[in-house]
Structure 1
C-alpha cells in the first residue's frame, strides 16, 4: 500500500484522462503529474515547503481539485469554504497559521482582505485560455521569490498533507491534521471498497472543501488511474446534462443531493439508459431506506451507503458492492479501519450491544492539533471515539442509533451550535441563547435557536437571522428562532441541546 501521494498517483496510464470538466479539454494523468511537480517547484520557489499551510479558497471545479491534490503532495493543503464571511476567514486563517492563501485571479473573496490584515501571502491561481481542465499556474500578488526553502519538494509519509476543522459544540472548532499516510490509506480503502479501475469515470458534484468530496470524489478514483469529471458544484437542473457529457460509471453525494436528482430522474430516463451506472454512493448523513430503494429502481444500480468523518480521513464503514449483502438502515461493514462498539466503562461490547462507535487504523488522525483536552477525551486505549452511538450485528454490519455529539448535521453540512450561540450573543438585544438541531424532512436537521431578550430591547426573528447572516455562511443561520422568558434546562440545571426540539414541539 502506498504511503506517499507521489506513489499513489503514479498508477494512472500517461495518456488516460485524469480530470475533465464541462466544455473543457481533458487533463491526462501524465499532465496531472507534471502539474503537481511544477506547482510544488513554484511553491518551493516562493519559500513554501513541507508542513507549511496553504489555505485554498476556490470555487468548485477542476482547478480546486488539482490545486488540492498538488498542495497535498508537498505542502499542507487547507481547503476552506468560499462561502465564509470575513469573521470566519479571520478565525480559520489565524488558527491554521496559514503561510499563503490561494484564490482565483480576479476573486473578490473577503479572505483576501483578511489575509492582508494578517500578513498572509496571497497567490493568484491563473487559468490560461483554452487550458485543459484543472491546469493552472500560480502567481504571487507581491511578485517576490524566496531565496531558499527549508524543506523542498515532495512530502514524506508522516508530514501533514491536509488540515481541516471539525466543529466543536462546547469549544472552538478543532484542527484535524491528516498526514500523507492518512490520505493514502483512506484513498486505498475507498478504492478497494468500490473496486475502482482505470475504466471508471466519476461525476463529482460534492463541494471540494469537505473530506467527502476531496477523498472519495477526487483522490480515491485518481489513485486507481481513473477519471474525475469536476462540476462547478451541485445543480439538480444541470445534473443530467453533465451526465450526458461525462458518461459516468458512478457518482457520490449526500442524501439531499440524491433526493433532488431523484425528483428530476423521471424526465431524464433516456439519459440514465444511455449511461448505466455501476453504482451510486451516499455518505455524510443517513439515507432513508425508502429513498435508497427508489434510487436503485430508477438507476438500475446499487446504492452504496458509507459512514465517514473528518478524523478518519472520510471512510470508516461501507455497505459492500453486490453480490455481497447491503442492509438498508446500516452503514455497512468496517471498510478500512477497525471498528468496535465501546461501553461507558471503556470495554468493547459484543454483537448487539449499544455503545459508542470507536475506530483505529492507518487512516485515523493521530490527534487534534494543540488540543490536549480534546485528545484526552477523543482517544481511549488507542481507539478514537467518534461521538456516535451505534451497534454492530453478528455479521459485522454497523447501524447508528443516535449522536452523542450535538453537532447539527444539515444535509451533510456540519454546524457547531456553540459558534451560532456566540454570534447571536453579540447582538445588543440578546441576553441568552441556545442553538440546536430541529428535524427537517429533507435535510435531516435544520438550525434552530431559543433566545431570551434583554429587558426593554426588542428584536424580531428576521432581524436576528440577518445579523447572523453577516457573520456566518447561510447554512448556519437559524431557520427558526423562538423567544422565551428563560432557556429550557435539564433536570440537573444543565443546558441540553439534544432533545430540545422534541421538548419544544418542533418537528
Structure 2
C-alpha cells in the first residue's frame, strides 16, 4: 500500500466502500465522503478561507464531526475545540489560533458563537442532513465547487493545544505529512484492512480519536462507526449495531466498559473483536488481563502524544509478544532514551524518551522558547521518563513533571499505581504529589473501590508497605466515587491535590 502524504489522499480507493456509519443511519461511502469534502472546501474558498487559515470546529462527536474534520483539514487548518469549554476558554483559544471562521452545529446559542461574534469571526452553522447518509450535512453558506484538494505535504492540516497543566497551552501545528504518516503507521501496526470497522468512542477534538480511530481507518480503506460520544450505558448496544472489529480508548473508558460487561454477555457472544487498542495513558496490567478475558481478543497498548500526531510506540499484534506494563516497540518514528547530557543511553538505562520521524510536529507555533527546550539534536523531547529493554520494548516510568520529589527521594507515581492496583478492593487509583512544607512533596493517592468492596486507609497503606519502600507509601489516601478526569477521560495527577482540597 502506498504512503499518503496528505489528508485527502487517505480517501482514495474504492468509492463504493463504506466510510462513515452512525446509529440508525445509512453508511456514507468513500465516494460520497470525498464529494462532501470537496463541497465543504468549496464553501470555505467562497468566503475567502485559504489553505493556511485556521478554522475552529465546535461540534459534538458524531458522523458530521468526522466528515467536517476531514473537509476542513483538506482545504484549511482544522482547529477542533471541546464544545464543553466556557466562554473565557473559547475567547482564549479563538484568539490564540487567530481563527478566521467558526464552524458550529446550528441550534441554541452557545458560548463559542457569542465569542466569535464579539471578535468578528465568521460563523458557519452546520445542519445535519438526517435524510442522507451518516455525516451528510448542509452549511449556512452555500456549498460551492472548487475542485479536488491538493495541499502540500508540508502545509499545516491540524492545530491542537497542549493541555497547559503546568504552563500556558502551546499550539501544536501538525502538517499533512505528519497526519498521513501517523495514520499509515497505525494502519500498519494494527494490520488494518478494508474489512475492519472501528467504533469511535474517543472525542474528535483529541488527537487519539482523530488519528488513531478516524484517519488510520481511512488510510486502510476501512470504515468507522461514530455515535454521539462515549456513553458506557450505550457502549454495548453501539458495538452490537456497528459490528465493529476494534475500538481504541483511554484506560478509564476501558474500565467503565468492563464494569458493565457482565450484563452484556449476549452482545459479547455476538460480536468478536479482532483486538482492542489502549493509549493516551498507562493501562494497568490488571485491566489489560481483564479486558482480554472479557472480550476474548488481544489488547494492544500503545504510546502517543499530540506532538507526534499520536502514535510513537505500540505493542505488536500476535503472534509477536505483547508485554503488559510496556507500551511496546517503536511504531513509526525512531524512539530512544536520552540522558541529561544529551547522550543517547543503552538498553536498560532510565532517561527521557525522545523521538524523531515524519509524524513529529515541525515545532510549536510562535514559541521559540518552547522549541529550544523541546528539541535537542534533531530529537523531540517527550517529557516522559522511560527505559528500553534489550528487545526494544519501551516501559514508561513516569512523566518527568509528575515525578514526586519527597525530600530528595524520587518516586514514580506509576510504580505506586501498579502496586496498589493489585489490591483486591481497588478499581482505580491515581498517585500524586501533595505539597509539603519540609519535604517539598508527600505521596498521596486517590482511590475508587470496586463495587461492593471496602478498605480503609490503613488497609491500603499496609498493602503498599508490604511491597514498596516506606518513603513510597502514600501518606494521604482519599476514597472517591469518581476520580476527576480531563476532557478526554485521562486521569490527571498535576493539580489533583488542589482539586481535592489537600493543599493548606
Quickly name the TM-score band, shorter chain normalised.
0.7 to 0.9
Partner of 1:270: 266
Please name the residue that 2:32 is paired with. 31
1:336–1:20 Cα change, 3 Å: same
Give, in whole Å, the separation in 2 of the partners of 1:102 and 1:113. 13
Residue 62 (1) aligns with residue 63 (2): yes
Distance 2:445 2:307 in 1: 26
Query: Aligned residue for 1:41?
Result: 42
1:246 to 242, 245, 260: 242
Q: What pairs with 1:87-236 in structure 2 (closer than 5 Å)?
A: 87-140=88-141, 153-236=149-232
CA deviations 1:338-365 (Å, max 9, x no partner) are 0000000000000001000000000000
In 2: Cα distance, 1:138 partner to 1:247 partner: 31
- 2:276 equivalent to 1:280: yes
Q: Distance in 2 between matches of 1:219 and 1:404?
A: 30
Q: What whole-Å deviation, never above 9, does each CA across 1:439-476 have from its counterpart, x for those lacking one?
A: 43469xxxxxxxxxxxxxxxxxxxxxxxxxxxxxx999
Secondary structure of 2:353's aligned partner: strand
Cα separation, 2, equivalents of 1:117 and 1:51: 23
1:306–1:317 CA contact under 8 A, matched in 2? yes
Cα RMSD for the two superposed structures = 2.8
Distance 2:394 2:283 in 1: 14
- Paired with 1:210 and 1:442, the residues of 2 have a C-alpha distance of 26
Residue 169 of structure 1, CA deviation:
4.7
Q: Could you report, residue by residue, the CA deviation over 1:246-298 in whole angstroms, capped at 9, with x for unpaired residues?
A: 01100011111101111111121121111100000000100110110111011
Distance in 2, matches of 1:175 and 1:193, equals: 28
Measured in 2, the distance between the counterparts of 1:287 and 1:57 equals 30
Cα deviation per residue 1:386-411 (whole Å; 9 max; x = unaligned)? 000000000000000111135999x9
Asked if 1 retains the 8 angstrom alpha-carbon contact of 2:130 and 2:136, the reply is no
Compared CA separation, residues 234 and 353, structure 1 to 2 (3 A): same
1:4 matched to which residue of 2? Answer: 6
Q: What TM-score do you get using the length of structure 2 for normalisation?
A: 0.80
Question: What are the residue-to-residue correspondences of 1:407-446 with 2, within 5 Å?
Answer: 439-441=445-447
Look up the match of 2:73: 72
**Residue 14 (structure 1) shift:** 1.5
Aligned partners of 2:322 and 2:328 also within 8 Å: yes
Superposed counterparts of 1:16-27, under 5 Å: 16-27=17-28
1:250/1:280 contact within 8 Å kept = yes
Identify if the C-alpha distance between structure 1 residues 483 and 406 changes in structure 2 by more than 3 Å, giving closer, same or farther.
Answer: closer
Q: Pick one of 275, 284, 297 that aligns with 1:301.
A: 297
**Aligned with 1:83: secondary structure?**
coil
How far residue 128 of structure 1 moved from its aligned partner, in angstroms, is 2.4
> In structure 2, the residue corresponding to 1:292 is in which secondary structure?
helix
2:321 is matched with: 325
1:369 and 2:370 aligned: no
User: Given that residues 197 and 224 in structure 2 are in contact (C-alpha distance below 8 angstroms), is that contact kept between their aligned partners in structure 1?
Assistant: yes
Q: How many residues align?
A: 427
Partner secondary structure for residue 337 of structure 2: strand
CA distance in 1, matches of 2:502, 2:91: 30
- Taking structure 1 as reference, are residues 339 and 436 closer, same or farther at Cα in structure 2, changes over 3 Å only? farther
Give the C-alpha shift of residue 438 in structure 1.
Answer: 5.8
Question: In 1, are the aligned partners of 2:8 and 2:149 still within 8 Å (CA)?
Answer: no
**How many angstroms does 1:170 deviate by?**
4.7
Measure how far apart 1:308 and its partner are.
0.2
Deviation at 1:327, TM superposition (A): 0.3
CA change 1:168–1:438 in 2 (3 A) is farther
Deviations along 1:128-164, one digit per CA (max 9) or x if unpaired, are 2312111112214xx8x99xx9x99432111100000
In structure 2, the CA distance between the partners of 1:133 and 1:108, relative to structure 1 (3 Å rule), is same
Question: SS of the counterpart of 1:481?
Answer: coil
Q: Does 1:480 align with 2:500?
A: yes
Structure 2 spans left out of the alignment, 5+ residues = 405-412, 418-431, 433-439, 450-490
Note the C-alpha offset of 1:231.
1.1
CA contact (8 A) 1:168 1:407 kept: no
Aligned residue number for residue 448 of structure 1: none
Structure 1: runs of 5 or more not aligned:
412-416, 418-433, 444-473, 485-507
Residue 337 of structure 1 deviates from its aligned partner by: 0.4
* Post-superposition CA distance 1:469-498 (Å, at most 9, x none): xxxxx99996412352xxxxxxxxxxxxxx
Distance, in Å, in 1 between the alignment partners of 2:367 and 2:12 is 36
